[in-house]
Amino acid sequence: MVLQPSLKNCLWLSCILRTPKAGFRSTASGARIVQSVSNDVYQNLAVEDWIHDHIDLEKQQVLFLWRNSPAVVIGRHQNPWQECNLRLLRQKNIKLARRRSGGGTVYHDLGNVNLTFFTTRKKYERMENLKLVVKALKALRPQLDVHVTDRYDILLDRHYKISGTAAKLGRTSAYHHCTLLCNADKLVLSSVLKSPYKGLKSNATPSVPASVKNLFEDDPSLTSEMLLDAIAKEYATQHKIDHHITLINPADETLLPGINNKTNELQTWEWVYGKTPKFSVSTCLNMVYKDSVLDVKVNMDVKHGRIEVCNIDLPEQWLPPALYSELVKSLTGSKFCPRETTTLATTLLRMCPQDDELHSRWNLLCENMIMLM
Amino acid sequence: VCIHRVRSCSSIRFIKSKYVCVFDKSALKFSHQQRLFRTSAVSCGQIVQFKLSDIGEGITEVTVKEWYIKEGDSVSQFDSICEVQSDKASVTITSRYDGIIRKLHYSIDDIAFVGKPLVDIEIDASKGVASEEDVVETPPMSHDEHTHQEIKGHKTLATPAVRRLAMENNIKLSEVVGTGKDNRILKEDILNYLAKQTGAILPPSPKAEIIQPLPKSETVAAAPKDKARKIPVPVSRPIVFSGKDKTEPVTGFQKAMVKTMSAALKIPHFGYCDEIDLTQLVQLREELKPLAEIRGVKLSFMPFFIKAASLGLLQYPILNASLDENCQNVTYKASHNIGIAMDTEQGLIVPNVKNVQVCSVFDIASELNRLQSLGSAGQLGTSDLTGGTFTLSNIGTIGGTYAKPVILPPEVAIGALGKIQVLPRFNGKGEVFQAQIMNVSWSADHRIIDGATMARFSNLWKSYLENPASMLLDLK
């Protein structure tokens, strides 16, 4: 469909109005509230990208409301190995996503609400947005003790973090998004956000851990839907628009042309892991073999998520030298990823002499290496 | 001479980069002339210091996190230059100019200052510095359509190179959908528009088709009587293809596969194929499927194929053997660890079911379920992926009938199973009936396995599957 740029914006406006009210369309709407019908973190992050790239925010600001099924979301320049327990994520089938905004790592589930405030670069104002959220919470439940800190966090009862903030600025548009804990699973949150990986050295943005609390704990009558509604209402009041939330489907290619490409890009290994800033791993494997414990020093440099340099300090002749060098050569350049390493290691084993002792040593070493990833 | 060359083609971006390359190559060869080339290149363009613009919120410094370009790269206005971070905000810095990056003022993780130079860009002197506005001023052109920058109050964003491409192909920019940032029209958009246009110029009548000059390959298809058939007519205008070859190093798993497959091909393979009538097995599986489901296991055909193979291996153990490197010794493996080739994102992995010789069909099915779910989650461990002695590859789930599978060392045989098709066959009475037919293609190591052994094994395997009740006699 060949559309002129001006028509494209109109299509967006007209297509997504569910119940077009004559009055609504005729007023000069300086803002709009949209909510995603999907709980897929990649689809929702893709919507953010899409709005950022395609909507003329000079004409209207946008508030985007979304929730995700269990996922860990790291900031643009972070190191997932440093930030979370990747092994646990894989076991529990919790998704890992890297967002395009900066900041730290957060855990999302349906008990957490996400808000994205889209404005032009000039109108980018995080404090105002957070004050709006606090005002909405207080209007909903006046007894809640919530306030905004100068680190752009929202604290409950002066002490517990219930919201974290991050932002993305482009050439002409900007967005500020934040989380809000209503009734998230705190046990899962604390277990997935604890990294078991030792010996990592990197310049990636570190997260600042904080004690968290759910709003639900102070007031069990609260639900995520109520929070979303209250914030939408406050936004509508402040922007002088109707309190009308438009639902959008992030899989709708007609409404959001190019959205599926964006969703796919966010799921690629190259984006999620490959964008990790260069880091090094320097640790010691304690391998229990027969009746002794072997201390094996390992040093690796990882760039773009791939092993650039690999050194494994094995006792001499523990593995045939040719085999050892084959392993190191194959690891160099391959992804710092358990799947890849397992496949690599087991494939290489086919080339070895069929010796049970050799096989068990090889498997032991490879399994220990995989634990680092 | 060289100065003249640069000036004449500097406005066409894609040709410009070719000449830049030429300069670099010659610069390498003639070191004493290097300075000569460089100074002449510099004098062609003006170096502009692109300063880091205001981020907002009173921020004065940011950390440089990623460069999207490097020194020597060509950039267009609005291309992303780098990503900087400041206090939880990630900012994409885009170029204000078209030109070539000459200097990066910061490295990754350096602190960059607002108002200070970020990169040096060499822009074409004749064009001058682009203004702060979003619209790029184009050199004067004769056609109004191409300077058409305002359409219904919206500015069409496109770089001069894109505008030229549009003009050369007689395209109105107003008719092109821009897919770049802020609906900017990219080269790809022009090409997509062109591709759609070729369809639109099909001549309506057959007579016109004959008159048009057709390329050799099209003359065969020319049937002028058939009006309904549209024969693609070659476009007279030059089609610009901007796709580039992409070269990547072979790493990780692929590297390992290269080694394994190279070793595998050293094995002299011979093939043996046959057709199996699975009509009875299909029926049996239908009956057993619900029973397995009650026990929480999904029953496919593979457990039957695997168990039948193991029963066959009991009779022909040489197929479950391994030849050492010097071909001095053959080791007959006691365990039947039958591998199932699985296709994953990484590529081919072969988990195996251990000790099939002591497993029931149900045990095998249950184990397969476990391996398959671990496989799709990418969580197969080394013990599941090593120790295989014989492999079956069910390529038929994707498609195909006969195949030429490659033996996976240190094994000596492999079987590829084609898809199950419903085909007409003759029964004992000479009547035609609907048969469920599957093809199998075996490959074996001819150094220690001969054709007769393979054929007999295959026949035995086939007999178990064509008449599943016979498996009962030999089940251990």
**CATH of region B160-196:** 4.10.320.10
B109 in active site: no
The whole-angstrom separation of Cα B392 and Cα B373 is 18
CB contact under 8 Å between A343 and B256, yes or no, is yes
What pLDDT is stored for residue A122 in this prediction?
86
* Higher pLDDT, residue B389 or B180: B389
From B181, B182, B136, select the one nearest B163 (Cα to Cα): B136
Question: CA Rg, chain A, in Å?
Answer: 25
pLDDT tier for residue B156 given thresholds of 50, 70 and 90: low
CB contact under 8 Å between B377 and A90, yes or no, is yes
CB contact under 8 Å between A342 and B380, yes or no, is yes
State the average pLDDT over residues A171-189. Answer: 93
* Higher pLDDT, residue B431 or B37: B431
Token output for B58: 């009173």
* Higher pLDDT, residue B93 or B171: B93
Residue identified by tokens 């205001």 is B54
The whole-angstrom separation of Cα A352 and Cα A350 is 6
The whole-angstrom separation of Cα A297 and Cα B117 is 44
B450 in active site: yes
Topology at the third CATH level for domain A32-273: BirA Bifunctional Protein; domain 2 (3.30.930)
State the average pLDDT over residues A210-232. Answer: 93
CB contact under 8 Å between A344 and B152, yes or no, is no
- Mean pLDDT of chain B, nearest integer: 77
B154 vs A contacts (CB less than 8 Å):
4-6
State the average pLDDT over residues A280-295. Answer: 90
B53 and B98 in contact (C-beta within 8 Å)? no
Token output for B280: 């009875």
Nearest to B346 among A75, A339, A353 (CB): A339
Whether B202 has a pLDDT exceeding 50, the answer reads: no
A363 and B382 in contact (C-beta within 8 Å)? yes
What pLDDT is stored for residue B28 in this prediction?
41
The whole-angstrom separation of Cα A120 and Cα B245 is 38
**CATH of region B46-123:** 2.40.50.100
CATH architecture group of domain A279-372: 2-Layer Sandwich (3.30)
CB contact under 8 Å between B56 and A169, yes or no, is yes
A174 and A124 in contact (C-beta within 8 Å)? yes
B122 and B129 in contact (C-beta within 8 Å)? no
Q: Which range has the worst mean pLDDT, A105-109, B52-56, B150-154, B275-279?
A: B150-154
The catalytic position among B110, B182, B450, B474 is B450
Shortest CA distance from B349: residue in chain A = A343
Mutate to test the interface with A, among B188, B251, B333, B407 (most CBs of A within 10 A): B251
Token output for A292: 């002794």
Whether A7 has a pLDDT exceeding 80, the answer reads: no
CB contact under 8 Å between A168 and B153, yes or no, is no
A97 and A73 in contact (C-beta within 8 Å)? yes
Mutate to test the interface with A, among B53, B66, B82, B88 (most CBs of A within 10 A): B88
pLDDT tier for residue A140 given thresholds of 50, 70 and 90: very high
What pLDDT is stored for residue A95 in this prediction?
95
**CATH of region B269-473:** 3.30.559.10
Whether A186 has a pLDDT exceeding 50, the answer reads: yes
Residue type (1 letter), B291: L
B301 and B285 in contact (C-beta within 8 Å)? yes
Which tens digits make up the pLDDT trace of B218-233?
A: 444 434 444 445 676 6
CB contact under 8 Å between A344 and B94, yes or no, is no
SS (H, E, C) B439-457: EEEEEEECCCCCHHHHHHH
φ/ψ bin of B182: left (φ > 0), alpha (ψ from -120 to 50), beta (otherwise) = left
Whether B135 has a pLDDT exceeding 60, the answer reads: no
Percent of chain B topping pLDDT 70: 74
Mutate to test the interface with A, among B75, B253, B331, B414 (most CBs of A within 10 A): B253
A181 and A212 in contact (C-beta within 8 Å)? yes
- Partners of A246 in beta bridges: A34
The whole-angstrom separation of Cα A304 and Cα A274 is 4
State the average pLDDT over residues A226-236. Answer: 94
- Mean pLDDT of chain A, nearest integer: 88
Burial of B352 (0-12, 13-18, 19+ CB in 10 A): buried
State the average pLDDT over residues A174-187. Answer: 94
Residue identified by tokens 């599943």 is B468
pLDDT tier for residue B242 given thresholds of 50, 70 and 90: confident
Residue identified by tokens 């009862």 is A157
* Higher pLDDT, residue A346 or A11: A346
What pLDDT is stored for residue B424 in this prediction?
95
pLDDT tier for residue B235 given thresholds of 50, 70 and 90: low
Chain Cα centroid distance, residue A115: 14
What pLDDT is stored for residue B155 in this prediction?
52
Which tens digits make up the pLDDT trace of B186-201?
A: 777 777 776 665 544 3
ipTM of predicted assembly, 2 dp:
0.81
A4 vs B contacts (CB less than 8 Å):
151-152, 154, 174, 177
CB contact under 8 Å between A3 and B177, yes or no, is yes
What pLDDT is stored for residue B125 in this prediction?
60
Q: What number of C-beta contacts closer than 8 Å exist between A and B?
A: 184
Instruction: Specify the DSSP element, H or E, that contains B19.
Output: helix B13-29
Give residue limits of the domains in chain A: 32-273, 279-372
From A48, A31, A32, select the one nearest A40 (Cα to Cα): A48
Distances (CA, A) of B303 to A56, B119, B147, B243, B285: 59, 64, 70, 47, 10
Number of helices (H), then strands (E), belonging to chain B: the values are 15, 21
Token output for A132: 């709006």
What pLDDT is stored for residue A12 in this prediction?
55
What DSSP letter does each residue of B457-469 carry, written as one string? HHHHHHHHHHSTH
What pLDDT is stored for residue B35 in this prediction?
44
Whether A258 has a pLDDT exceeding 70, the answer reads: yes
What DSSP letter does each residue of A133-170 carry, written as one string? HHHHHHHH-TT--EEE-TTS-EEETTTEEEE-EEEEE-
Token output for A287: 């391998």
B87 vs A contacts (CB less than 8 Å):
102
B83 vs A contacts (CB less than 8 Å):
76-77
pLDDT tier for residue B251 given thresholds of 50, 70 and 90: confident
Instruction: Specify the DSSP element, H or E, that contains B102.
Output: strand B99-104
The whole-angstrom separation of Cα B233 and Cα B179 is 28
The whole-angstrom separation of Cα B287 and Cα B294 is 12
- Partners of B277 in beta bridges: B437
Q: How far is the alpha carbon of B255 from chain A, nearest alpha carbon, in Å?
A: 7
Q: How far apart are the first and last CA of chain A?
A: 46
Q: Could you tell me whether strands A292-303 and A306-313 are parallel, antiparallel, or unpaired per DSSP bridges?
A: antiparallel
What DSSP letter does each residue of B243-292 carry, written as one string? ---------HHHHHHHHHHHHHTTS-EEEEEEEEE-HHHHHHHHHHHHHH
B196 vs A contacts (CB less than 8 Å):
2
**What angle separates helix A321-331 from helix A338-349, to the nearest 10 degrees?**
150
Instruction: Specify the DSSP element, H or E, that contains B18.
Output: helix B13-29
Shortest CA distance from B343: residue in chain A = A343
From B289, B277, B242, select the one nearest B437 (Cα to Cα): B277
Whether B215 has a pLDDT exceeding 70, the answer reads: no
Q: What is the pTM of this model?
A: 0.74
CB contact under 8 Å between B256 and A344, yes or no, is yes
What pLDDT is stored for residue A50 in this prediction?
94
The whole-angstrom separation of Cα A253 and Cα A266 is 16
Residue type (1 letter), B194: L
φ/ψ bin of A201: left (φ > 0), alpha (ψ from -120 to 50), beta (otherwise) = beta
Q: Which range has the worst mean pLDDT, A186-200, A211-225, B35-49?
A: B35-49
Give residue limits of the domains in chain B: 46-123, 160-196, 269-473
* Higher pLDDT, residue B129 or B172: B172
The whole-angstrom separation of Cα B137 and Cα B139 is 7
Burial of B73 (0-12, 13-18, 19+ CB in 10 A): middle
Residue identified by tokens 């798993």 is B253
- Partners of B45 in beta bridges: B124
What pLDDT is stored for residue B254 in this prediction?
80
The whole-angstrom separation of Cα A166 and Cα A176 is 6
Residue identified by tokens 């048969």 is B435
What pLDDT is stored for residue A22 in this prediction?
35
